């Protein structure tokens, strides 16, 4: 088998140590190798780098094991070519397995060019990822605390959630504060309603009639304090994310992204696309707000030349159908494991888009949900949003709305005949005449 890299190394990374296998292929085809073990502190990783440079190593392969590969990658990335590979793609034949054999296997695969590197974004984008992912965790934690607060209300016979859509809205917060202070009069609590909720005051009086005890007030006070703290944290992270995007936009990439093979070359641009502009473009997609746009650009970046096509990006993100066939039979269409943070953001955007009035994405959702179910329809809409984002960033254009009647307009005559047959089956006699400004006619 042809040798691609004469001097390379494979690293088997763990929490406390790294097993390194350096492999050198000589001119006569024989190979020599050396095994070393290093710690994972910064000083010991610097020793690993010095050893690799002394051996003239040009490429290094690392398995993506949790987060333990990150310290190694941070030390090596500016000095040698590091390939982070998926552990599923480098499994050995079952049998003898040790840390040394794993390192040797990685080095042997690397020297023959049989490894495919995972996509590792630039350092600034990785910093942005850390901020957006932590903010998403804080939002999920806030939702969990709100659920615990509602459980306390149910235990106290307070049915506020049955009347108010948002318990943590302006009216709900005012009522909860009075409950904590000891107010038990349902009429007085119902008078705190604001806006359209005031029309439900009789129902609020019934819902706020309960048995609130001292420990319920204590629990409600603690939950409200926790929610206020999380709100402050989320706002601070949002400010930090905005500042990070501003810094990244002030120093854009040195080159404009190249178009993929299946795309026409975009028109000449005076300046390369920035992260701030990308967020504004993605914000025009139905269901995508600024927060979700920041998550999307943090996960996949703005340089679409890294992905040969939109299909490759969808597969990498985990919102594409699976591919598992054998003997002419399709076994499973389950979506592959991909970028979980991006997938969650796209699914959230799909839920929002499926409820946006007069939108193509809503029509697509209901069209698929009727045949395949709501979950598959949500993933399909998430796929459409990602494909749209890919082309929008590639062409530097905002979202173009096709309208909720897009599918009907494409099959105008078919839809008309279908509806006519349904009316005839119900016993009606219908005569159809096309309006003067329409192109289709039904006979």
Residue 262 has pLDDT above 70, yes or no: no
**Residue 376: how many other CB atoms lie within 10 Å:** 15
Residue finishing a domain among 244, 263, 293: 244
**DSSP 8-state secondary structure symbol assigned to residue 80:** S
**pLDDT average, residue stretch 181-190:** 92
Model confidence pLDDT, tens digit, residues 14-73? 999 999 999 999 888 888 999 999 999 999 999 999 999 999 999 999 988 889 999 999
Q: Give me the residue label for tokens 């979980």.
A: 340
> Which pLDDT score is estimated for 117?
87
Question: Are residues 388 and 251 in contact, defined by beta-carbon separation less than 8 angstroms?
Answer: no
239 lies in some domain: yes
Question: Are residues 106 and 63 in contact, defined by beta-carbon separation less than 8 angstroms?
Answer: yes
Instruction: 155-158: list long-range contacts, CB under 8 Å, 24+ apart.
Output: 155/216, 156/210, 156/211, 156/212, 156/213, 156/216, 157/209, 157/210, 157/211, 158/207, 158/208, 158/210, 158/212
Q: Give me the residue label for tokens 């049989």.
A: 114
- 73: nearest Cα among 63, 85, 82: 82
CA angle 97, 98, 103 (to 5 degrees): 105
Question: Are residues 314 and 383 in contact, defined by beta-carbon separation less than 8 angstroms?
Answer: yes
99 lies in some domain: yes
Q: Report the C-alpha gap between 438 and 369 in whole angstroms.
A: 30
Q: How confident is the model at residue 438 (pLDDT cuts 50, 70, 90)?
A: low
271 lies in some domain: yes
Residue finishing a domain among 222, 244, 266: 244
250 lies in some domain: no
Q: C-alpha distances in angstroms, 379 versus 69, 251, 317, 347, 382?
A: 31, 35, 11, 7, 5
Query: Percent of the chain scored above 90 by pLDDT?
Result: 70
Count how many domains the chain has: 4
Q: C-alpha distances in angstroms, 262 versus 72, 282, 349?
A: 36, 21, 26
415 lies in some domain: yes
> In sequence order, what E strands does 328-440 have?
329-332
172 and 224 in a single domain? The answer is: yes
> Which pLDDT score is estimated for 73?
94
Question: Are residues 342 and 300 in contact, defined by beta-carbon separation less than 8 angstroms?
Answer: yes
272 and 338 in a single domain? The answer is: yes
Model confidence pLDDT, tens digit, residues 204-261? 999 999 999 999 999 999 999 999 999 999 999 999 999 999 999 986 444 444 455 5
Residue finishing a domain among 85, 111, 137: 111
Residue 155 has pLDDT above 60, yes or no: yes
64 and 21 in a single domain? The answer is: yes
**pLDDT average, residue stretch 392-406:** 93
376 and 289 in a single domain? The answer is: yes
- 144: nearest Cα among 216, 214, 230: 230
86 and 60 in a single domain? The answer is: yes
437 lies in some domain: yes
N-terminal to C-terminal alpha carbon distance within the chain: 68
Indicate the pTM of the whole model.
Answer: 0.84
Question: Are residues 15 and 68 in contact, defined by beta-carbon separation less than 8 angstroms?
Answer: yes
Model confidence pLDDT, tens digit, residues 338-390? 899 999 999 999 999 999 999 999 999 999 999 999 999 999 999 999 999 99
Across all residues in the chain, what is the average pLDDT?
Answer: 89
Query: Percent of the chain scored above 70 by pLDDT?
Result: 92
Residue span of the structural domain in which 229 resides: 126-244
Residue 265 has pLDDT above 70, yes or no: no
CA angle 131, 132, 136 (to 5 degrees): 120
28 lies in some domain: yes
Q: Report the C-alpha gap between 286 and 349 in whole angstroms.
A: 8
218 and 292 in a single domain? The answer is: no
44 lies in some domain: yes
Provide the β-strand partners of residue 178.
Answer: none
Q: Report the C-alpha gap between 394 and 263 in whole angstroms.
A: 9
Residue 66, CB-side half-sphere exposure with 13 Å CA sphere? 6
């Amino acid at each position: 088998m042809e040798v691609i890299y004469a001097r390379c190394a494979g690293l088997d990374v763990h929490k406390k140590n790294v097993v390194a296998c350096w492999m050198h292929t000589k001119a006569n085809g024989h190979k020599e190798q050396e095994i070393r073990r290093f710690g994972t502190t910064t000083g010991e990783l610097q020793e690993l780098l010095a050893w690799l440079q002394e051996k003239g190593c040009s490429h290094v392969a690392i398995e993506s094991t949790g987060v333990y590969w990150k310290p190694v990658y941070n030390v090596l990335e500016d000095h040698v070519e590091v390939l982070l590979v998926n552990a599923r793609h480098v499994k050995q034949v079952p049998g003898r397995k040790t840390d040394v054999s794993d390192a040797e296997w990685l080095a042997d695969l690397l020297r023959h060019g049989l490894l495919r590197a995972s996509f590792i974004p630039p350092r600034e984008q990785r910093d942005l990822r850390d901020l957006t992912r932590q903010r998403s965790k804080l939002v999920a934690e806030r939702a969990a605390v709100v659920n615990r607060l509602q459980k306390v209300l149910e235990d106290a016979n307070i049915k506020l959630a049955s009347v108010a859509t948002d318990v943590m809205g302006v009216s709900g917060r005012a009522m909860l504060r009075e409950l904590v202070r000891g107010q038990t009069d349902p009429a007085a609590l119902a008078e705190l309603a604001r806006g359209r909720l005031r029309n439900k005051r009789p129902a609020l009086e019934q819902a706020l009639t309960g048995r609130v005890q001292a420990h319920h007030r204590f629990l409600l006070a603690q939950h409200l304090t926790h929610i206020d703290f999380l709100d402050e944290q989320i706002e601070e992270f949002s400010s930090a994310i905005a500042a990070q995007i501003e810094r990244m936009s002030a120093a854009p990439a040195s080159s404009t992204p190249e178009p993929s093979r299946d795309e026409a070359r975009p028109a000449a641009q005076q300046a390369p696309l920035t992260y701030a502009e990308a967020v504004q473009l993605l914000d025009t997609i139905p269901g995508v707000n600024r927060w979700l746009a920041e998550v999307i650009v943090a996960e996949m970046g703005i340089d679409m030349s890294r992905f040969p096509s939109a299909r490759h990006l969808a597969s990498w993100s985990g919102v594409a159908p699976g591919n598992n066939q054998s003997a002419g039979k399709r076994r499973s269409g389950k979506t592959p494991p991909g970028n979980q943070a991006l997938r969650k953001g796209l699914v959230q955007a799909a839920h929002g888009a499926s409820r946006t009035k007069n939108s193509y994405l809503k029509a697509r959702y209901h069209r698929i949900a009727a045949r395949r179910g709501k979950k598959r329809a949500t993933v399909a809409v998430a796929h459409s949003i990602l494909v749209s984002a890919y082309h929008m960033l590639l062409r530097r254009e905002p979202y173009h709305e096709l309208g909720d009647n897009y599918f009907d307009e494409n099959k105008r005559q078919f839809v008309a005949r279908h509806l006519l047959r349904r009316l005839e089956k119900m016993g009606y006699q219908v005569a159809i005449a096309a309006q003067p400004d329409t192109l289709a006619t039904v006979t």
